[in-house]
Chains A and B, each alone.
Chain A
Amino acid sequence: MTAELTAEPSAPPETAMTAGQPATPSRWHAVCRYGDLTPERGACAIVEGAQVAIFRTFDGALHAVGNLDPFSGAQVISRGIQGTRGGAPVVASPMYKDVFDLRTGRCADDPAVALPVYAIRRAAGDRVEVAVPDGHRQ
């Protein structure tokens, strides 16, 4: 059900829809339907070679951060438990349980470490779209 949406570039984004927007979003990529996302559970999309962890929080908001857990070197952030810390939406890496703020990517226990944050939006036709900066490849 998602195969036909695979990483098809669409028109460039006009507006930023979430916090933590990267500086130079280039193209929006449709990755799945909004209804495909389980609330409070992540999914991973591969966009221009970058692995992006996508979360739909309890209140319906969307967040996209890098899937790579910087502490373990494994691509697993999308499989962490999503919740809140002090009201902020967070995900805990399933590897060593490090907690990251989904809005800023920042590690809650080590401010020197952060995940990259990507632009994400709910577009027409219930499509979920993600943008990665130009030339951003992992």
Chain B
Amino acid sequence: MRVVVVGHGPTGHRLVEALRSRDGGGACRITVIGEETRPAYDRVALTSYLTEDADLAYPPHDGEVEMVTGDPVAGIDRAARTVRTASGREVGYDALVLATGSAPFVPPVPGRDLPGVFVYRTIEDLDALRDHCRNLTMSRQSVEGIVVGGGLLGLEAARALQNLDVETHVVEVAPWLMPRQLDEGGGAMLRRHIEALGMNVHAGTPMAGLEPGADGAVARVALADGSAVEAGVVVFSAGVRPRDELARACGLEVGERGGIVVDASCRTSDPAVWAVGECALVGGQVYGLVAPCFSMAEVVADRLLALAGGGDSAARFEGADLSTKLKLMGVDVASFGDPFAGPEQGALDVTYTDPVAGVYKRLVVSDDARTLLGGVLVGDASSYPTLRAFIGAELPGSPEQALFGGTEAAGGDLPGATVICSCNNVSAEHIRCAIRDEGLTELAAVKGCTRAGSTCGSCTPLVKKLLDAELTAAGVEVSKALCEHFEHSRAELFDVVRVTGITTFTQLIDAHGRGRGCDICKPVVASILASLGNGHILEGEQAALQDTNDHFLANMQKNGTYSVVPRIPGGEITPEKLIVIGEVARDHGLYTKITGGQRIDLFGARVEELPEIWRRLVEAGFESGHAYGKSLRTVKSCVGSTWCRYGVQDSVAMAIRLELRYRGLRAPHKLKSAVSGCARECAEAQSKDFGIIATEQGWNLYLAGNGGMRPRHADLFASDLSDAELVRYIDRFLMFYIRTADRLQRTASWLEALDGGLDYLREVIVEDRLGLCAELDAAMERHVASYSDEWRATLDDPDKLRRFVSFVNAPDVPDPSIAFEPERDQIKPVLVAGPRLEVAAR
């Protein structure tokens, strides 16, 4: 069967790939005829061609596909079943597929053909735009430019223009940005973000015309409100129109407002002709997103292969979910379900606006406020995956709760299909069933039974939430007890230790617990004692409480060796120190890797090697980086105002100051921080427990962010702080967290569980509502004053050094079970020891 595909954009490319991959017998002979001079490329990523010099080309088709490029089809003879190209080539077909895409819509305004006016569709368009802007920026002090259209594509074009050093204006006819995806409030919030990035937005403002300058090129754009904007470059990106001219010319049915009419199988009014992608009008709608276009291509591929094989196919295009989530110039924007439904459709809406954080959220619900119909999120789209899963379903709580991530907070109400443990692919429903059917009451039992949380363990808090919810539902009282040895929660134990002045585990368990502790309560007590300033963590009885990482001041790896991370405050390091790290690693044969926290991790050290490694590092001026502790890890930083053209504050100096202040501070869980020198946020501070972003006036402080398996953007706690205010607030935040958090509770879930949330935290830290601030400040001062390097203190103490042997009866013998093999010029562990049980099979 001869198949001719007209148009080689992303949809045409997908169609041919789908045909080739499923057509083992070669039933279809494919000819592709494209107008552009190059084969298909990734048009969705067009802007990255300018901003990152990205190669957008799709992989070429195999040699069986005949490709014609740069020779547009000029006409279709349906009776003869042939197409004719502009160069006069004639190709016959049994099936013709139109994948002609769409063309930019340029409104009929005066001056639209002036030099300096561009559209934003092809690589050629972008090349021409870039050349023009470069010429302008070389000959002028400053260049202003206008993007006509404030939709998805227009904002992409604006980003590209700004990237070409053009002072950018966005002109949108509708009263707000992205009118097809966002409601007014969302559009307004997006506008604030876009303006904060240095662009100018003119919304609700039609254009009157383009005016040329002395050189004949565009120089000015007149707006309908009588104002004018100087512009040496204008980009039209005010929507697209389906390329249906070939279909029209040969008498195929087209829609009133354009688009080739097709049925659900993407067949036109002529059974031998099909249409897919942006040129097709299916179910009365034209689709501009790439996912539905690809679905159409798959449907037609299926149909054609069935035809060629003499069979039948039932593949249909059933419409598409137009929910989208994207990051526009760093701003989260999401739109899902039907975000526009109003009272006339029996819908209500709940909105939330936080102008300080730049967050807007709107949920559309049925008029009984139970069923989620759609919504808009701007500035924070973290709840998009959960909310999207609830579209058309009954919400677990009130819409307000859902708005504030309550679908997660209400753990027990997670939809059954939600995958809780992605390591072992265990769903919420699976866990609930196991708890109910097996009568499980302990977390360990749930893990053992379902395998959830048994691999990397990061979902354990969620599993615990599900367990607590199930037990509560079953009328079982959920105990806050830490373990079988203490009835107290961690926060309660902290207060007991603080108030009674107890300094040893034995005193504590004798007076307030039972038994002799375990691997849960001992590290908790060790951490509490350390937070309250009880000296070196390996001093006296404390040594026996520590987890192996703290006990060896290094991180245990899978083969029982350890990794060593020296502190590199703020990620700043001299060449001399880098060389020392390199020499130590080389001499001890360690595997080296750069960490995400701007440090260097040295892997594969046996316990008896650790002191010598530390000695050399300490001599070179390093100290412990506490990578092993539930304590401050790193304060990451961007290069800041010292070097960066955009930096407004010295982020490196601040990061170093903070890292040195909080180093060694033991907490309920690890603590991460970062400082960014400007709003571009290169240090990713908003994913940290405490993140700092420089402003012209000082520092913005963000609290309780988290990466990891359940990422959470940090909340803006206070703005434009002085250095002293910043440090004071962080001091109090950390000490308040350390006092009140649960075991292994990161600041993110701590804040989520804190009654009154962020506002309450502000009252405690800023307004001193609990009268606690002096105490918190003093506690931090004690920590800062008493800090000492744990490695050096260990090296200085022969008694502590004694434990760093593999064998108590053969201190000089290395563990023979530890072996390595080479990989990529470094070592990797080989387990040579006896039988290994399948961990996941438990």
Residue ranges of A at the interface with B (Cβ–Cβ < 8 Å): 2-3, 5-7, 29-32, 36-41, 43-47, 51, 54, 57-58, 68, 70-76, 79-87, 89-90, 92, 94-97, 99, 109-110, 113, 138
Any chain A CB within 8 A of the CB of B60? no
By a CB distance below 8 angstroms, the chain B residues around A74 are 558-560, 817, 831, 833
By a CB distance below 8 angstroms, the chain B residues around A87 are 515
Is B548 a contact partner of A82 (Cβ separation < 8 A)? no
Contact of A41 among B516, B543, B833, B842 (CB under 8 A): B543
Contact of A38 among B803, B815, B818 (CB under 8 A): B803
Is A84 a contact partner of B516 (Cβ separation < 8 A)? yes
Q: In the assembly, what is the distance between CA of A65 and CA of B167, in Å?
A: 73
Residue ranges of B at the interface with A (Cβ–Cβ < 8 Å): 444, 448, 454, 484-485, 515-519, 521-523, 541, 543-548, 551-552, 556, 558-560, 802-803, 806-813, 815, 817-818, 831, 833-837, 839, 842
A-B contact pairs, 8 of them (CB 8 A): A37-B808, A39-B544, A46-B813, A51-B815, A68-B834, A92-B518, A96-B839, A138-B833
Task: Give 7 A-B pairs besides A6-B809, A83-B515, A138-B834 with Cβ atoms closer than 8 angstroms.
Answer: A2-B808, A6-B810, A54-B808, A81-B523, A83-B485, A85-B515, A92-B518
Most buried by B among A30, A40, A74: A74
Known contacts A40-B544, A95-B558, A99-B519: does B837 contact A71 (CB below 8 Å)? yes
Contact of A70 among B544, B559, B808, B835 (CB under 8 A): B835
Is A7 a contact partner of B809 (Cβ separation < 8 A)? yes
Is A83 a contact partner of B548 (Cβ separation < 8 A)? no
Q: In the assembly, what is the distance between CA of A84 and CA of B444, in Å?
A: 16
By a CB distance below 8 angstroms, the chain A residues around B545 are 81
By a CB distance below 8 angstroms, the chain A residues around B454 are 96
By a CB distance below 8 angstroms, the chain A residues around B517 are 83-84
Known contacts A40-B544, A74-B558: does B519 contact A57 (CB below 8 Å)? no
Contact of A47 among B523, B548, B559, B809 (CB under 8 A): B809
Known contacts A41-B543, A90-B518: does B837 contact A36 (CB below 8 Å)? no
Contact of B807 among A39, A45, A68, A76 (CB under 8 A): A45
By a CB distance below 8 angstroms, the chain B residues around A113 are 837
The residue of chain B having its C-beta at the shortest distance from the C-beta of A29 within the complex is: B809
By a CB distance below 8 angstroms, the chain B residues around A58 are 516
B183: min CB distance to chain A, Å: 49
Contact of B556 among A30, A45, A73, A79 (CB under 8 A): A79
The residue of chain B having its C-beta at the shortest distance from the C-beta of A108 within the complex is: B444
By a CB distance below 8 angstroms, the chain A residues around B551 are 41, 79
The residue of chain B having its C-beta at the shortest distance from the C-beta of A110 within the complex is: B842
The residue of chain B having its C-beta at the shortest distance from the C-beta of A3 within the complex is: B811
By a CB distance below 8 angstroms, the chain A residues around B811 are 2-3
Contact of B548 among A44, A79, A85 (CB under 8 A): A79
Most buried by A among B807, B815, B833: B807
Is B807 a contact partner of A44 (Cβ separation < 8 A)? yes
Is B519 a contact partner of A81 (Cβ separation < 8 A)? yes
Contact of B522 among A31, A47, A83, A85 (CB under 8 A): A83
Q: In the assembly, what is the distance between CA of A37 and CA of B808, in Å?
A: 9
By a CB distance below 8 angstroms, the chain B residues around A37 are 808
Is A83 a contact partner of B518 (Cβ separation < 8 A)? yes
